[in-house]
Structure 1
Amino acid sequence: MKGLPDRFQITNTYNGDVFTLKNASGTGTADDPYRWTIENVPDKTEIIFTESGYDVTGYDVTINGQATTDAEAGTVKVTIAENETAI
């Protein structure tokens, strides 16, 4: 498989922006990964990011080498550290 499906997206609980391949910077390679930015986030703000649309028939999802189920895959929680202004 080359790259992510066009329906791939990431949502967040901070501002509701939807990140897709179309609004990413980067090419999705190890040397130039996809990137999205949320700026001016207040210190200690907790944001939950949820990925979806990455499933492809014939492929299994793994995160850090561990097989996942739909219920546990695709969600990451981050907290903005002091003096950090973008993630």
Structure 2
Amino acid sequence: MHHLKLFCLAFLFTFLVGCSNERIEISNDVKLFASIPDGAREFEVEVLIIIPKGEVLKVNSRDYMKDFMVIGVTYRDVEGFVIFDSRKMQLIQN
């Protein structure tokens, strides 16, 4: 379990450091938010679009907040934020 935790932290660090031309492919439908929701205001934040699985997003910024990864992305010339629950993320290897 300890090794898995270290691996996850190393993966997250590598992901967060990233490069400016980074792109990610999503494996589930996700919401593109207009701004970063906080816990109490989560349902007050405008959802710009639902991005279907399999789409490739250009990464603009990355942040990690407790159990969530917030990624600023561009999708079809629309900028917004995608929130991932890191407790449910899976590493997919090719």
The TM-score with structure 1 as length reference comes to 0.24
More helix by share: 2
Q: Which has the higher contact order (CA 8 A, sep 6+)?
A: 1
- TM-score, length basis structure 2: 0.23
